[in-house]
Amino acid sequence: MAAPAPLLAMHAVSKRYGPTVALDDVSLAARPGRVLALIGENGAGKSTLMKVLAGAVRPDAGRMTLAGASYAPAGPTAARAAGVAMIYQELNLAPDLSVEDNLMLGRERSRFGFLSRSEQRRRCRAALDKLGHGALDVRTPVGRLPVGTRQVVEIARAVLDEARVVVFDEPTSSLPRREAEALFAVLRTLTEGGAAVIYISHFLEEVRTVCDDYAVLRDGRAVGSGELKDVTEPDLVALMVGRTVDDLFPRVPHTPGEPLLTVNNLTGADRTPEGASLTVRRGEILGVSGLIGAGRTELLRAIYGLDAVRSGRITVSRSGAEVAPGAGPRGRIRSGVGFVSEDRAGEGLMLNRTLAENATLGRLGPLSKCGLLNPAAPNRATAALMQRLGVKARGPGQTAGELSGGNQQKIAVARVLHQDSDVWLLDEPTRGIDVGAKSDLYRLMGEAAAAGKAVLFVSSYLPELLAVCDRVAVMRRGELVAVRPAAEWTAESAMAAAVGADSACADTVGADSGAGETEPSPSEPKAR
Protein backbone atom coordinates (compact mmCIF):
# COMPACT_ATOMS: atom_id res chain seq x y z
CA MET A 1 0.00 0.00 0.00
CA ALA A 2 1.46 3.36 -1.07
CA ALA A 3 2.13 5.92 1.64
CA PRO A 4 -0.28 8.89 1.65
CA ALA A 5 0.90 12.17 0.13
CA PRO A 6 2.51 14.57 2.63
CA LEU A 7 0.13 16.83 4.52
CA LEU A 8 3.05 19.08 5.45
CA ALA A 9 6.22 19.51 3.40
CA MET A 10 9.21 21.69 4.25
CA HIS A 11 11.62 22.23 1.34
CA ALA A 12 15.25 23.41 1.62
CA VAL A 13 14.67 25.51 4.75
CA SER A 14 17.72 27.49 5.91
CA LYS A 15 18.29 29.88 8.82
CA ARG A 16 21.41 31.69 10.05
CA TYR A 17 22.02 33.72 13.18
CA GLY A 18 25.08 35.77 12.28
CA PRO A 19 27.92 33.30 11.68
CA THR A 20 25.93 30.40 13.21
CA VAL A 21 24.10 28.15 10.75
CA ALA A 22 21.02 26.87 12.59
CA LEU A 23 19.39 25.20 9.56
CA ASP A 24 21.09 24.32 6.29
CA ASP A 25 18.85 23.23 3.39
CA VAL A 26 16.54 21.07 5.54
CA SER A 27 13.58 19.21 4.04
CA LEU A 28 11.02 16.93 5.68
CA ALA A 29 7.53 15.59 5.07
CA ALA A 30 4.75 14.69 7.55
CA ARG A 31 1.94 12.47 6.31
CA PRO A 32 -1.69 12.33 7.50
CA GLY A 33 -2.52 9.53 9.91
CA ARG A 34 1.16 8.96 10.75
CA VAL A 35 3.61 10.01 13.46
CA LEU A 36 6.94 11.41 12.30
CA ALA A 37 9.83 11.21 14.79
CA LEU A 38 12.08 14.27 14.60
CA ILE A 39 15.37 13.09 16.07
CA GLY A 40 18.70 14.75 16.77
CA GLU A 41 21.08 15.84 19.45
CA ASN A 42 20.49 19.04 21.40
CA GLY A 43 21.55 21.88 19.14
CA ALA A 44 20.90 19.89 15.96
CA GLY A 45 18.28 22.40 14.75
CA LYS A 46 15.02 20.69 15.76
CA SER A 47 13.69 23.62 17.79
CA THR A 48 14.57 26.18 15.12
CA LEU A 49 12.88 24.07 12.43
CA MET A 50 9.71 23.78 14.51
CA LYS A 51 9.75 27.53 15.23
CA VAL A 52 9.80 28.09 11.47
CA LEU A 53 6.83 25.75 11.14
CA ALA A 54 4.98 27.56 13.96
CA GLY A 55 5.59 31.00 12.46
CA ALA A 56 7.78 32.15 15.36
CA VAL A 57 10.91 32.33 13.17
CA ARG A 58 11.10 33.51 9.58
CA PRO A 59 13.50 31.37 7.48
CA ASP A 60 16.21 32.88 5.29
CA ALA A 61 15.41 30.47 2.46
CA GLY A 62 13.09 27.60 1.63
CA ARG A 63 9.37 27.06 1.32
CA MET A 64 6.56 25.09 2.96
CA THR A 65 3.29 23.57 1.77
CA LEU A 66 0.30 22.52 3.86
CA ALA A 67 -2.32 20.25 2.26
CA GLY A 68 -0.78 21.07 -1.12
CA ALA A 69 -1.08 24.85 -0.73
CA SER A 70 1.71 27.33 -0.06
CA TYR A 71 2.19 27.88 3.68
CA ALA A 72 4.14 30.89 5.04
CA PRO A 73 2.66 31.98 8.40
CA ALA A 74 3.24 35.58 9.44
CA GLY A 75 3.32 34.51 13.09
CA PRO A 76 2.13 31.87 15.60
CA THR A 77 -1.48 33.10 15.42
CA ALA A 78 -1.52 32.63 11.66
CA ALA A 79 0.03 29.17 12.00
CA ARG A 80 -2.63 28.16 14.52
CA ALA A 81 -5.37 29.48 12.23
CA ALA A 82 -3.91 27.39 9.39
CA GLY A 83 -4.13 24.24 11.54
CA VAL A 84 -0.63 23.88 13.03
CA ALA A 85 -0.51 23.25 16.79
CA MET A 86 2.55 23.11 19.07
CA ILE A 87 2.57 21.13 22.34
CA TYR A 88 5.71 22.28 24.12
CA GLN A 89 7.60 20.47 26.87
CA GLU A 90 6.84 23.41 29.18
CA LEU A 91 3.06 23.57 28.91
CA ASN A 92 1.55 26.93 27.95
CA LEU A 93 -1.35 26.95 30.43
CA ALA A 94 -2.64 29.37 33.06
CA PRO A 95 -2.71 27.28 36.27
CA ASP A 96 -5.18 29.52 38.12
CA LEU A 97 -7.76 29.41 35.34
CA SER A 98 -10.22 26.58 34.84
CA VAL A 99 -9.94 23.93 32.15
CA GLU A 100 -12.71 25.71 30.24
CA ASP A 101 -11.05 29.12 30.43
CA ASN A 102 -7.71 27.68 29.30
CA LEU A 103 -9.30 25.88 26.37
CA MET A 104 -11.35 28.87 25.24
CA LEU A 105 -8.69 31.53 25.77
CA GLY A 106 -8.70 33.47 22.50
CA ARG A 107 -11.61 31.30 21.29
CA GLU A 108 -14.35 32.73 23.53
CA ARG A 109 -17.99 32.33 22.49
CA SER A 110 -20.38 35.20 23.28
CA ARG A 111 -24.03 36.05 22.87
CA PHE A 112 -25.36 39.59 23.08
CA GLY A 113 -21.99 40.71 24.41
CA PHE A 114 -21.87 38.09 27.21
CA LEU A 115 -19.85 34.87 27.43
CA SER A 116 -21.92 31.88 26.43
CA ARG A 117 -20.75 29.45 29.12
CA SER A 118 -23.09 26.70 28.01
CA GLU A 119 -21.75 26.80 24.43
CA GLN A 120 -18.15 26.95 25.62
CA ARG A 121 -18.59 23.97 27.94
CA ARG A 122 -20.27 21.98 25.20
CA ARG A 123 -17.31 22.58 22.89
CA CYS A 124 -14.77 21.81 25.62
CA ARG A 125 -16.45 18.57 26.61
CA ALA A 126 -16.70 17.50 22.96
CA ALA A 127 -12.95 18.09 22.48
CA LEU A 128 -12.05 16.28 25.69
CA ASP A 129 -14.39 13.42 24.84
CA LYS A 130 -12.52 12.88 21.55
CA LEU A 131 -9.37 12.39 23.63
CA GLY A 132 -11.00 9.96 26.06
CA HIS A 133 -11.31 12.51 28.89
CA GLY A 134 -14.95 13.52 28.59
CA ALA A 135 -15.49 13.02 32.33
CA LEU A 136 -13.02 15.78 33.25
CA ASP A 137 -14.79 18.64 35.07
CA VAL A 138 -14.04 21.69 32.92
CA ARG A 139 -14.55 23.98 35.93
CA THR A 140 -11.44 22.54 37.66
CA PRO A 141 -8.43 24.88 37.90
CA VAL A 142 -5.66 23.50 35.69
CA GLY A 143 -3.13 23.86 38.52
CA ARG A 144 -4.90 21.09 40.43
CA LEU A 145 -4.53 18.56 37.62
CA PRO A 146 -1.73 15.97 37.24
CA VAL A 147 0.88 16.79 34.61
CA GLY A 148 -0.47 14.14 32.23
CA THR A 149 -4.00 15.57 32.40
CA ARG A 150 -2.65 19.08 31.82
CA GLN A 151 -1.09 17.81 28.62
CA VAL A 152 -4.49 16.50 27.55
CA VAL A 153 -5.91 20.00 28.11
CA GLU A 154 -3.16 21.44 25.90
CA ILE A 155 -3.91 18.83 23.21
CA ALA A 156 -7.65 19.57 23.47
CA ARG A 157 -6.90 23.12 22.37
CA ALA A 158 -5.44 21.67 19.17
CA VAL A 159 -8.64 19.64 18.72
CA LEU A 160 -10.74 22.79 19.19
CA ASP A 161 -8.65 24.51 16.53
CA GLU A 162 -9.12 21.50 14.23
CA ALA A 163 -5.36 21.24 13.89
CA ARG A 164 -4.10 19.24 10.94
CA VAL A 165 -0.46 19.14 12.09
CA VAL A 166 0.37 18.68 15.79
CA VAL A 167 3.94 18.93 17.09
CA PHE A 168 4.92 17.33 20.44
CA ASP A 169 8.20 18.46 22.00
CA GLU A 170 9.54 15.95 24.58
CA PRO A 171 6.01 15.27 25.87
CA THR A 172 6.89 12.42 28.26
CA SER A 173 10.06 13.81 29.89
CA SER A 174 8.23 14.44 33.19
CA LEU A 175 5.52 11.78 32.97
CA PRO A 176 5.29 8.48 34.85
CA ARG A 177 4.81 5.39 32.70
CA ARG A 178 1.03 5.16 33.11
CA GLU A 179 0.46 8.78 32.03
CA ALA A 180 2.91 8.35 29.15
CA GLU A 181 0.92 5.35 27.89
CA ALA A 182 -2.28 7.39 28.17
CA LEU A 183 -0.62 10.08 26.04
CA PHE A 184 0.25 7.48 23.40
CA ALA A 185 -3.44 6.58 23.20
CA VAL A 186 -4.25 10.25 22.59
CA LEU A 187 -1.69 10.34 19.77
CA ARG A 188 -3.43 7.39 18.14
CA THR A 189 -6.73 9.26 18.39
CA LEU A 190 -5.22 12.24 16.59
CA THR A 191 -3.77 10.17 13.76
CA GLU A 192 -6.96 8.15 13.38
CA GLY A 193 -8.66 11.49 12.78
CA GLY A 194 -6.27 12.19 9.90
CA ALA A 195 -3.83 14.55 11.61
CA ALA A 196 -0.09 14.45 10.96
CA VAL A 197 1.91 14.30 14.20
CA ILE A 198 5.56 15.36 14.58
CA TYR A 199 7.07 13.82 17.69
CA ILE A 200 10.36 15.06 19.23
CA SER A 201 11.94 12.77 21.81
CA HIS A 202 15.36 11.61 23.02
CA PHE A 203 13.91 8.24 24.12
CA LEU A 204 14.55 5.99 21.14
CA GLU A 205 12.64 3.05 22.60
CA GLU A 206 9.65 5.39 22.97
CA VAL A 207 10.05 6.56 19.38
CA ARG A 208 9.92 2.91 18.29
CA THR A 209 6.65 2.48 20.15
CA VAL A 210 4.89 5.63 18.97
CA CYS A 211 6.20 6.65 15.55
CA ASP A 212 5.88 5.43 11.98
CA ASP A 213 8.48 7.54 10.18
CA TYR A 214 11.68 9.35 11.15
CA ALA A 215 13.80 12.33 10.15
CA VAL A 216 17.23 12.95 11.69
CA LEU A 217 18.95 16.33 12.00
CA ARG A 218 22.63 16.83 12.78
CA ASP A 219 24.39 20.18 12.93
CA GLY A 220 21.48 21.90 11.22
CA ARG A 221 21.28 19.46 8.29
CA ALA A 222 18.89 16.64 7.45
CA VAL A 223 21.01 13.47 7.43
CA GLY A 224 18.43 10.69 7.17
CA SER A 225 14.73 9.90 6.86
CA GLY A 226 12.41 7.00 6.13
CA GLU A 227 10.18 4.46 7.83
CA LEU A 228 11.24 3.30 11.28
CA LYS A 229 10.66 -0.33 10.44
CA ASP A 230 13.53 -0.10 7.97
CA VAL A 231 16.21 1.24 10.36
CA THR A 232 17.90 -0.12 13.50
CA GLU A 233 18.49 1.79 16.72
CA PRO A 234 22.30 1.76 16.29
CA ASP A 235 21.79 3.21 12.80
CA LEU A 236 19.68 6.05 14.25
CA VAL A 237 22.29 6.79 16.89
CA ALA A 238 25.04 6.84 14.27
CA LEU A 239 23.02 9.31 12.18
CA MET A 240 22.44 11.53 15.22
CA VAL A 241 26.01 11.74 16.49
CA GLY A 242 27.92 11.33 13.23
CA ARG A 243 29.84 8.33 14.43
CA THR A 244 29.21 4.69 15.24
CA VAL A 245 28.26 4.22 18.88
CA ASP A 246 28.64 0.55 19.68
CA ASP A 247 28.22 1.07 23.40
CA LEU A 248 25.85 3.77 24.60
CA PHE A 249 26.94 3.09 28.18
CA PRO A 250 30.74 3.52 28.28
CA ARG A 251 32.39 2.00 31.34
CA VAL A 252 35.49 3.33 33.03
CA PRO A 253 37.12 0.71 35.32
CA HIS A 254 36.80 1.64 38.99
CA THR A 255 37.06 -0.17 42.29
CA PRO A 256 34.78 0.51 45.29
CA GLY A 257 36.77 1.27 48.44
CA GLU A 258 36.03 2.50 51.93
CA PRO A 259 32.73 4.25 52.82
CA LEU A 260 32.66 7.92 51.89
CA LEU A 261 29.00 8.89 52.41
CA THR A 262 27.03 7.25 55.22
CA VAL A 263 23.35 7.98 55.87
CA ASN A 264 21.66 6.54 58.97
CA ASN A 265 17.88 6.54 59.51
CA LEU A 266 17.33 9.79 57.65
CA THR A 267 13.74 11.07 57.88
CA GLY A 268 12.54 14.26 56.24
CA ALA A 269 10.40 16.88 57.94
CA ASP A 270 7.37 15.59 56.00
CA ARG A 271 8.52 11.97 56.54
CA THR A 272 9.95 11.60 53.04
CA PRO A 273 12.44 9.97 53.01
CA GLU A 274 11.53 7.82 56.00
CA GLY A 275 14.26 6.04 57.93
CA ALA A 276 16.58 5.83 54.94
CA SER A 277 20.02 4.27 55.48
CA LEU A 278 22.71 3.75 52.88
CA THR A 279 26.45 3.78 52.34
CA VAL A 280 28.24 4.94 49.19
CA ARG A 281 31.91 4.03 48.90
CA ARG A 282 34.81 5.75 47.25
CA GLY A 283 35.01 4.57 43.67
CA GLU A 284 31.35 3.50 43.56
CA ILE A 285 28.27 4.50 41.59
CA LEU A 286 25.09 3.73 43.54
CA GLY A 287 21.85 4.11 41.59
CA VAL A 288 18.42 4.83 43.05
CA SER A 289 15.32 3.59 41.24
CA GLY A 290 11.62 3.71 42.08
CA LEU A 291 8.29 5.02 40.86
CA ILE A 292 7.55 8.73 40.51
CA GLY A 293 6.76 10.03 44.00
CA ALA A 294 8.70 7.28 45.79
CA GLY A 295 10.96 9.86 47.46
CA ARG A 296 14.15 9.61 45.42
CA THR A 297 14.48 13.35 44.83
CA GLU A 298 13.56 14.07 48.45
CA LEU A 299 16.33 11.72 49.59
CA LEU A 300 18.99 13.63 47.66
CA ARG A 301 17.62 17.01 48.71
CA ALA A 302 17.65 15.95 52.36
CA ILE A 303 21.24 14.71 52.10
CA TYR A 304 22.28 18.00 50.50
CA GLY A 305 20.44 20.11 53.08
CA LEU A 306 17.88 21.62 50.70
CA ASP A 307 14.95 20.03 52.53
CA ALA A 308 14.42 20.04 56.29
CA VAL A 309 15.24 16.84 58.19
CA ARG A 310 13.32 15.48 61.18
CA SER A 311 15.95 12.99 62.31
CA GLY A 312 18.93 10.94 61.18
CA ARG A 313 22.70 11.22 60.68
CA ILE A 314 24.85 12.04 57.65
CA THR A 315 28.61 11.45 57.67
CA VAL A 316 31.14 12.31 54.97
CA SER A 317 34.51 10.71 55.64
CA ARG A 318 36.51 13.55 54.01
CA SER A 319 35.44 15.86 56.82
CA GLY A 320 35.80 13.02 59.32
CA ALA A 321 32.76 14.23 61.21
CA GLU A 322 29.00 14.08 61.14
CA VAL A 323 27.37 16.70 58.93
CA ALA A 324 24.76 18.62 60.88
CA PRO A 325 21.31 18.03 59.29
CA GLY A 326 20.55 21.76 59.53
CA ALA A 327 23.86 22.92 58.04
CA GLY A 328 22.30 23.60 54.63
CA PRO A 329 23.93 23.37 51.19
CA ARG A 330 26.86 25.63 52.16
CA GLY A 331 27.85 23.21 54.91
CA ARG A 332 27.49 20.28 52.53
CA ILE A 333 29.74 21.95 49.94
CA ARG A 334 32.41 22.51 52.62
CA SER A 335 32.11 18.82 53.53
CA GLY A 336 32.73 17.80 49.92
CA VAL A 337 29.16 17.14 48.73
CA GLY A 338 27.99 18.39 45.30
CA PHE A 339 24.47 18.30 43.88
CA VAL A 340 22.94 18.41 40.38
CA SER A 341 19.20 19.13 40.50
CA GLU A 342 16.61 17.47 38.28
CA ASP A 343 15.08 20.93 37.74
CA ARG A 344 17.81 22.33 35.53
CA ALA A 345 15.88 25.46 34.46
CA GLY A 346 14.19 26.19 37.80
CA GLU A 347 16.98 25.67 40.32
CA GLY A 348 19.94 23.90 38.70
CA LEU A 349 21.25 26.90 36.75
CA MET A 350 20.93 30.68 36.62
CA LEU A 351 19.86 30.81 32.99
CA ASN A 352 20.28 34.58 32.69
CA ARG A 353 23.85 34.53 34.04
CA THR A 354 27.10 33.55 32.35
CA LEU A 355 28.57 30.09 32.19
CA ALA A 356 31.47 31.29 34.34
CA GLU A 357 29.11 32.52 37.05
CA ASN A 358 27.22 29.22 37.01
CA ALA A 359 30.27 26.95 36.96
CA THR A 360 32.20 28.69 39.73
CA LEU A 361 29.28 29.30 42.08
CA GLY A 362 29.94 28.05 45.60
CA ARG A 363 33.76 28.04 45.47
CA LEU A 364 35.37 31.38 44.74
CA GLY A 365 38.27 30.98 47.18
CA PRO A 366 40.74 29.48 44.67
CA LEU A 367 39.88 32.34 42.29
CA SER A 368 40.64 35.05 44.82
CA LYS A 369 43.77 36.62 46.23
CA CYS A 370 43.86 38.44 49.58
CA GLY A 371 40.08 38.20 49.66
CA LEU A 372 39.64 39.91 46.27
CA LEU A 373 38.24 38.06 43.28
CA ASN A 374 40.47 38.04 40.22
CA PRO A 375 38.01 39.09 37.46
CA ALA A 376 39.72 36.90 34.85
CA ALA A 377 40.01 33.78 37.02
CA PRO A 378 36.38 32.53 36.73
CA ASN A 379 36.58 32.69 32.92
CA ARG A 380 39.89 30.80 32.87
CA ALA A 381 38.61 28.11 35.25
CA THR A 382 35.36 27.75 33.31
CA ALA A 383 37.13 27.55 29.95
CA ALA A 384 39.19 24.64 31.26
CA LEU A 385 36.06 22.88 32.53
CA MET A 386 34.27 23.46 29.22
CA GLN A 387 37.15 21.92 27.31
CA ARG A 388 37.24 18.93 29.65
CA LEU A 389 33.49 18.32 29.37
CA GLY A 390 33.17 19.12 25.66
CA VAL A 391 30.72 22.00 26.18
CA LYS A 392 29.63 23.57 22.89
CA ALA A 393 29.39 27.33 23.49
CA ARG A 394 30.92 30.59 22.35
CA GLY A 395 32.81 30.96 25.62
CA PRO A 396 32.53 31.41 29.41
CA GLY A 397 30.81 34.77 28.94
CA GLN A 398 27.78 33.29 27.14
CA THR A 399 24.58 33.04 29.20
CA ALA A 400 23.47 29.57 30.24
CA GLY A 401 19.98 30.01 28.79
CA GLU A 402 21.42 30.19 25.26
CA LEU A 403 22.84 26.64 25.43
CA SER A 404 21.17 23.40 24.45
CA GLY A 405 19.89 21.13 27.22
CA GLY A 406 22.85 18.78 27.06
CA ASN A 407 25.38 21.59 27.28
CA GLN A 408 23.45 23.19 30.14
CA GLN A 409 23.64 19.91 32.01
CA LYS A 410 27.39 19.75 31.49
CA ILE A 411 27.71 23.22 33.05
CA ALA A 412 25.70 22.00 36.07
CA VAL A 413 28.16 19.10 36.40
CA ALA A 414 31.09 21.51 35.88
CA ARG A 415 30.08 23.25 39.11
CA VAL A 416 30.44 19.96 41.02
CA LEU A 417 33.88 19.51 39.47
CA HIS A 418 34.92 23.06 40.33
CA GLN A 419 33.76 22.58 43.92
CA ASP A 420 36.08 19.56 44.08
CA SER A 421 33.22 17.48 45.49
CA ASP A 422 34.02 14.00 46.75
CA VAL A 423 30.33 13.01 46.86
CA TRP A 424 28.24 13.57 43.73
CA LEU A 425 24.44 13.66 44.17
CA LEU A 426 22.95 13.45 40.66
CA ASP A 427 19.16 13.74 40.34
CA GLU A 428 17.93 12.68 36.86
CA PRO A 429 21.06 14.12 35.20
CA THR A 430 20.24 12.67 31.75
CA ARG A 431 16.61 13.81 31.54
CA GLY A 432 15.85 15.74 28.37
CA ILE A 433 19.31 15.45 26.80
CA ASP A 434 20.39 13.60 23.69
CA VAL A 435 22.16 10.25 23.48
CA GLY A 436 25.56 11.78 22.80
CA ALA A 437 25.38 14.00 25.89
CA LYS A 438 24.11 11.04 27.92
CA SER A 439 27.07 8.94 26.87
CA ASP A 440 29.40 11.79 27.87
CA LEU A 441 27.81 11.97 31.32
CA TYR A 442 28.02 8.20 31.83
CA ARG A 443 31.73 8.37 31.02
CA LEU A 444 32.18 11.31 33.38
CA MET A 445 30.52 9.37 36.20
CA GLY A 446 32.85 6.47 35.58
CA GLU A 447 35.87 8.79 35.58
CA ALA A 448 34.68 10.32 38.86
CA ALA A 449 34.40 6.87 40.44
CA ALA A 450 37.84 5.94 39.08
CA ALA A 451 39.20 9.09 40.80
CA GLY A 452 37.80 7.93 44.14
CA LYS A 453 34.56 9.90 44.16
CA ALA A 454 31.26 8.49 45.44
CA VAL A 455 28.34 8.92 43.03
CA LEU A 456 24.68 8.67 44.11
CA PHE A 457 22.67 8.58 40.89
CA VAL A 458 18.85 8.91 40.76
CA SER A 459 17.12 7.96 37.50
CA SER A 460 13.70 6.93 36.22
CA TYR A 461 15.34 5.05 33.34
CA LEU A 462 16.24 1.62 34.68
CA PRO A 463 18.43 0.47 31.73
CA GLU A 464 20.96 3.24 32.41
CA LEU A 465 21.05 2.42 36.14
CA LEU A 466 21.69 -1.26 35.44
CA ALA A 467 24.37 -0.44 32.84
CA VAL A 468 26.23 2.32 34.68
CA CYS A 469 25.93 1.56 38.41
CA ASP A 470 27.76 -0.87 40.70
CA ARG A 471 24.74 -1.23 42.96
CA VAL A 472 21.10 -0.18 42.57
CA ALA A 473 18.70 0.73 45.39
CA VAL A 474 14.91 0.82 45.05
CA MET A 475 12.70 3.26 46.93
CA ARG A 476 9.03 2.77 47.72
CA ARG A 477 6.81 5.27 49.55
CA GLY A 478 9.75 7.11 51.01
CA GLU A 479 11.64 4.02 52.16
CA LEU A 480 14.74 2.34 50.76
CA VAL A 481 13.49 -1.21 50.41
CA ALA A 482 16.36 -2.95 48.64
CA VAL A 483 20.01 -2.39 47.70
CA ARG A 484 21.70 -5.00 45.50
CA PRO A 485 24.55 -5.30 43.01
CA ALA A 486 23.35 -4.10 39.60
CA ALA A 487 23.95 -7.54 38.07
CA GLU A 488 21.36 -9.06 40.43
CA TRP A 489 18.52 -6.81 39.23
CA THR A 490 16.22 -7.22 36.27
CA ALA A 491 13.57 -4.79 35.05
CA GLU A 492 10.94 -7.15 36.46
CA SER A 493 12.50 -7.53 39.90
CA ALA A 494 13.09 -3.78 40.22
CA MET A 495 9.46 -3.06 39.36
CA ALA A 496 8.31 -5.72 41.82
CA ALA A 497 10.35 -4.06 44.57
CA ALA A 498 9.03 -0.62 43.60
CA VAL A 499 5.38 -1.71 43.89
CA GLY A 500 5.83 -3.90 46.96
CA ALA A 501 5.59 -7.30 45.33
CA ASP A 502 9.13 -8.44 46.22
CA SER A 503 9.20 -10.62 49.31
CA ALA A 504 12.98 -10.59 49.41
CA CYS A 505 13.25 -6.83 49.88
CA ALA A 506 13.25 -6.86 53.66
CA ASP A 507 16.06 -9.43 53.75
CA THR A 508 18.20 -7.34 51.40
CA VAL A 509 18.14 -3.97 53.13
CA GLY A 510 19.90 -4.96 56.30
CA ALA A 511 22.73 -6.68 54.46
CA ASP A 512 23.47 -4.06 51.83
CA SER A 513 22.51 -0.59 53.09
CA GLY A 514 23.60 -0.27 56.68
CA ALA A 515 26.14 2.21 57.95
CA GLY A 516 28.44 -0.51 59.19
CA GLU A 517 29.02 -1.96 55.73
CA THR A 518 32.67 -1.56 54.74
CA GLU A 519 33.33 -4.18 52.05
CA PRO A 520 31.54 -5.05 48.82
CA SER A 521 29.32 -8.09 49.04
CA PRO A 522 30.90 -11.28 47.62
CA SER A 523 28.71 -11.18 44.53
CA GLU A 524 29.43 -7.53 43.78
CA PRO A 525 31.98 -6.82 41.05
CA LYS A 526 35.24 -5.40 42.40
CA ALA A 527 35.76 -3.15 39.40
CA ARG A 528 33.77 -1.78 36.46
Measured at the alpha carbon of residue 378, what is the angle toward residues 374 and 384, in degrees to the nearest 5?
130
Q: Which amino acid is it at 356? A: A
Burial class (CB in 10 A: 0-12, 13-18, 19+), 179: middle
Of 169 and 244, the one with more pLDDT:
169
For residue range 486-511, list pLDDT tens digits in order. 999 987 888 788 877 544 443 444 44
Cite the residue boundaries of each domain of the chain with CATH code 3.40.50.300.
8-241, 249-336+421-521
Write the pLDDT tens digit of every residue in 345-357: 778 899 999 999 9
Per residue in 371-390, pLDDT tens? 677 778 888 999 999 998 88
Higher pLDDT, 291 or 195: 195
Q: pTM of this prediction? A: 0.62
Burial of 351 (0-12, 13-18, 19+ CB in 10 A): middle
- pLDDT at residue 179, rounded to an integer: 73
Per-residue pLDDT tens over the stretch 453-485: 999 999 988 888 999 999 999 998 889 988 999
Q: How confident is the model at residue 344 (pLDDT cuts 50, 70, 90)?
A: confident
Tell me what pLDDT residue 325 has.
67
pLDDT band at residue 261, thresholds of 50, 70 and 90?
Answer: very high
**Which has the higher per-residue pLDDT, 66 or 497?**
66
pLDDT tens string 322-341: 777 667 888 888 888 999 99
> What average pLDDT does range 420-426 have in this prediction?
93
Cα 486 to the center of its chain, rounded Å: 23
Q: Which CATH class is domain 8-241?
A: alpha beta
Question: Could you give the CA distance from residue 446 to residue 438 in angstroms, rounded to a whole number?
Answer: 12
Query: Would the pLDDT of 519 be above 60?
Result: no
pLDDT score at 513: 45
Q: Domain 249-336+421-521 class?
A: alpha beta
pLDDT computed for residue 118 by the predictor: 86
Rounded mean pLDDT of the chain? 85
Res. 520: pLDDT tops 50: no
**pLDDT given for residue 526 in this prediction:** 34
Q: Which helix (H) or strand (E) holds 340?
A: strand 337-340
The predicted pLDDT at position 320 comes to 60
* Cα-based torsion angle of the residue sequence 448, 449, 454, 458 in order, rounded to the nearest 10 degrees: 80
pLDDT (tens digit per residue) in 121-133 = 898 998 888 888 8
Are 65 and 71 in contact by the 8 Å Cβ rule? The answer is yes
**Rounded Cα distance, 497 and 482, in Å:** 7
- The span from the CA of 157 to the CA of 191, in Å, is 16
Residue 318: predicted pLDDT = 66
- Distances in whole angstroms, Cα of residue 258 to Cα of each of 278, 283, 426: 13, 9, 20
Residues facing 15 on adjacent strands? 23
Rounded-to-integer distance, Cα 169 and Cα 89, Å:
5
Q: Which residue has the higher pLDDT, 239 or 282?
A: 282
